[in-house]
Amino acid sequence: MGASAGRQPAFGGRTPAARATFLTFLLRSYNCRDIPSREQLLARREQLLASLPPLGDVVRGSFFVRRLRCGKSDRCRCGRGLLHRAAYLSVTFKGGATEQISVPRRLESVARAWVRNYARWWQAIEQVSAVNRELLRRRLVEPDR
Ligand SMILES: [Zn+2]
């Protein structure tokens, strides 16, 4: 094994198994038995890029909802078990620090969409990388001018 042993790329890795998985993925997306052509690879790349939401509409973190009691639970409905609902965006930074932002009900759909978009961008980056590895491997690209 090479220097990359132990790492597990999402697509088209260096191991025969990973490469076979990547090729299967490409072949399935073109519904043909041939190795994808340069044009098919470029088309796949364009298709991935065209399907992405705006890069401005992303946020790293996870969205979650908590049920809790407030400070006046002796006088409040939460004291009788009808807990309050509170939504948060939680982000962890390098070093382990975490930031939690309270998200009001009217912005929950925005926060959820931005979290989802963030994941979609990363998936697309992985998939474009897989296509680009194949382009490089088969010398199907030219240097920039
Ligand atoms: Zn309460």
Read off the tokens for 55: 């890069």
DSSP 84: E
Distance 74 CA to ligand 1 centre (A): 8
Sign of CA dihedral 8, 132, 126, 44: negative
Nearest to 41 by CA among 112, 120, 106, 133: 133
Judge whether 62 and 90 are in contact, CB under 8 Å: yes
- pTM for the model: 0.71
Q: Where are the alpha helices (DSSP H) in 31-87?
A: 38-50
Per-residue pLDDT of the chain (145 residues; tens, 9 = 90+): 344 444 444 444 556 666 666 766 666 665 555 789 999 999 999 999 999 999 999 999 999 999 999 989 899 999 999 999 999 999 999 999 999 999 999 999 999 999 999 999 999 999 999 999 999 999 999 998 7
Distance 83 CA to ligand 1 centre (A): 7
Q: Hey, where are the domains in the chain?
A: 16-56+118-137, 62-114
Render the burial of 100-111: b for 16+ CB within 10 Å, e for the rest.
eeebeeeeeeeb
Distance 66 CA to ligand 1 centre (A): 13
Distance 3 CA to ligand 1 centre (A): 56
